[in-house]
Structure 1
Amino acid sequence: MTPRQVHARADTPGRARAWAELLRLPALFTVPGDALAGAAATGVRPNHRTLLAIGSSLCVYEAGMALNDWADRDEDAVERPHRPLPSGRIHSAAAFTAACAFTAGGLALAARAGRPALAVAAPLAATVWAYDLALKHTPAGPLAMGLARGLDVLLGAAATAGRTRDALPSAAILGSHTLAVTTVSRQETQGGSPLAPLAALVTTACLSGLLTRAHPARESAETSPDSPARTSRPSLRLPAGRVTAAVLGLPGATTPTTPATRTTAPPNPDRPAAPATPSPLPTILATAYAATTARPYFHATLNPSPPLTQRAVSGGIRAMIPLQATLAARSGAPVTALLTAALAPLARRFARKVTIT
């Protein structure tokens, strides 16, 4: 073994950690829930196309992470010299190449999931690139990030059911949360006004209140997204009451009401056919969402210093998971909700080793 090979072998753990920092691996756990929440909103059981949508989302997200550091390499050299690019642990050309490769992979996976999925993934990727290269430091930056997260939810719906209309309320809620977090993140390196974390705190309170409101009883196990028996091609006709609920932003409010075809399957023990009272799961998950963000936002409001602002941003990112789980639960998919919520401890564990921001 040559000295160069010995050095390369010894440096492998360092390079792996550098890439983990560049790609912000702990934040990856906040991505699958987007597609799962979108799929749950359609009333169709998750399928192999849902998995393709998750893979596409992960690729586009990582493309955005790599491109973000590539675009900010000069700024990071002053404000964050420890980051992988300004520290020289990763070459800037490698980061840009990774961004291109991840984008291509994300679009390819979306294409495998079908034309509706690709029709959503293409503008999603374009939004990510536009944000990193042009919009990040403009007033439109937070809006672009909120749009990207909303499109990610619609990607799951388009891939799973071939339609996105039912998932629009869930996309709007996740987009609103992302807009608030992104607004706070704009001052995480130098601190700033307490207005941004205060606005994020108010946004969290409003979304939590909306999510814990009483919601209509869910349909029977035969139309459950988590049940083997499901609607194959539901009608898109909506009662006026559900349209109103959708305008108010209630996830699952636009669930189709006239299934065209149903299959016969044994009862699903995970979901009683006719629950006497609404499930407490959405309320529990919404409370977890509020608890994840309330304290760091409040501290950043009192003292918008860089360390406390960074904690607020981290809390806002991690809160994506219980928020996604809440949306899935409100859409009548408790198994999907619990699987999504299970990603939270993994994100917290990895965040102890690699920064999430």
Structure 2
Amino acid sequence: MRAAGAGGTSEVSRARVLSAWAELLRLPALFTVPGDALAGAGALSARPDHRTLLAIGSSLCLYEAGMVLNDWADRAEDAAERPHRPLPSGRVSPTAAFTAACALTAAGLALAARAGRPALTIAVPLAATVWSYDLALKHTPVGPFAMGTARGLDLLLGAAATAGHTRPALSSAAFLATHTCAVTTLSRQETHEGTPTAALAALATTGALAWLLQRPLAPGWPPEQRSPNLRSPNLRSPGGQSPGRQELPGPAGGRRPAHRLPTPVTAALATAYASTTARPYLHASLNPSPPLTQQAVGAGIRAVIPLQAALLARSGATATALLTAALAPVARRFARLVSIT
């Protein structure tokens, strides 16, 4: 009986440790990460492959490194404002947290290196941005822009790993970076009574991005044909026209590229993106209290998934977009067990 009791105590202790680390790592937020690399690959009309999976693995490691480092850097502040967090409560030691952040960063860079030099070229500044934000920039005016930059670089990591270049993915990266910047600005009011300004700005930003997602695409978009030869995507037909590019009669008998209208799937996902945050942002603007602000920030984090899916659908990767969108209810369900903020 005594041995059984000791075993039960050990299992309870182990469960508490795992629960503390799940809270420190903010595990539900992990579901918002794979779509970054997938959207980066989709922006280049490249099919995801094993390099894309390596980029996703790298992103997951660097994202979690940032989560752990964030709490390590804020442990004194959290002791006063959020003493229930894993570090100030003593459930995870600062040494263990910092070691984990270093190990996760090293793992993320190693996975990026396996994906190729272009991916590593993006992963290094991404890791540097994560560490700079957590250790120096978070409480400065450029903090939200640093966080947005990190998210944009994460999308470019997927593009670099999959197709070896990033330029056509800059537009998608800008969408993701802008959303992240708005949510990060709002998150600064999570622990104290704030003003309606940040929530209203986030609401306006979401509306603008949702509208832009449904605008007709520029002529010649997407930039290249999906092809098994992902390292040579800019194939052209014998007539010199990019495959898949539509043309309309132009003046003087010439031809001009047609604007491509977003598909119904893109419109639906853009609407899902906006609806995920509209009510929480509005509530936080009417009553900018910490609980409502935290709910709004959580909604903003979860809204990354339909935003990624809309960007994929906008690039023509409908199947991948729907698979990415399917992560949203899973993230919402896990967020009921572990806080996402």
CA contact (8 A) 2:225 2:235 kept: no
Tell me, yes or no, if structure 1 residue 9 matches structure 2 residue 8.
no
What count of residue pairs does the alignment treat as equivalent?
319
Q: How far, CA to CA, are the matches of 1:52 and 1:258 in structure 2? A: 29
Structure 2 match to 1:45: 47
Structure 2 match to 1:198: 200
Question: How many Å apart are 1:5 and its aligned residue?
Answer: 6.6
CA contact (8 A) 1:26 1:356 kept: yes
CA contact (8 A) 1:56 1:105 kept: yes
CA contact (8 A) 2:163 2:230 kept: no
Please give the residue correspondences for 1:104-143 in structure 2 after superposition, counting only pairs within 5 Å. Answer: 104-143=106-145
Structure 1 match to 2:102: 100
Structure 2 match to 1:64: 66
**TM-aligned CA distance change 1:328 to 1:181, over 3 Å:** same
Give the aligned residue type for 1:126: A
Give the aligned residue type for 1:233: S
**TM-aligned CA distance change 1:231 to 1:7, over 3 Å:** closer
CA contact (8 A) 1:35 1:155 kept: yes
CA contact (8 A) 2:34 2:59 kept: yes
Structure 1 match to 2:23: 21
User: Which of 282, 291, 300 is 2:284 aligned to?
Assistant: 300
Give the aligned residue type for 1:168: L
| CA RMSD, 1 decimal | 2.3
Question: How many Å apart are 1:216 and its aligned residue?
Answer: 5.8
Percent of aligned positions that are identical: 69
Structure 1 match to 2:340: 356
Tell me the alpha carbon deviations over residues 182-238 of structure 1, each in whole angstroms, 9 at most, x when there is no partner: 000001110211101111111011101101113368889x933xxx7566513399x
Q: How far, CA to CA, are the matches of 2:302 and 2:4 in structure 1? A: 44
Q: How far, CA to CA, are the matches of 2:192 and 2:228 in structure 1? A: 53
Give the aligned residue type for 1:80: R
Tell me the alpha carbon deviations over residues 288-332 of structure 1, each in whole angstroms, 9 at most, x when there is no partner: 000001111111111101111111100100000000000000001
Tell me the alpha carbon deviations over residues 49-104 of structure 1, each in whole angstroms, 9 at most, x when there is no partner: 00000000000000000000000001000100000011111111100000000000
**TM-aligned CA distance change 1:216 to 1:169, over 3 Å:** closer
Structure 2 match to 1:178: 180
Query: Unaligned regions of 5+ residues in structure 2, if any?
Result: 244-259
Q: How far, CA to CA, are the matches of 1:277 and 1:199 in structure 2? A: 28
TM-score, with structure 2 as normaliser = 0.88
Q: How far, CA to CA, are the matches of 1:202 and 1:171 in structure 2? A: 19
- Report the 3-state secondary structure (helix = DSSP H, G, I; strand = E; otherwise coil) of the residue aligned with 2:156: helix
- Report the 3-state secondary structure (helix = DSSP H, G, I; strand = E; otherwise coil) of the residue aligned with 2:136: helix
Please give the residue correspondences for 1:224-303 in structure 2 after superposition, counting only pairs within 5 Å. Answer: 224=226, 232-235=231-234, 258=242, 279-303=263-287
TM-score, with structure 1 as normaliser = 0.85
Query: Unaligned regions of 5+ residues in structure 1, if any?
Result: 238-256, 260-275
CA contact (8 A) 2:203 2:277 kept: yes
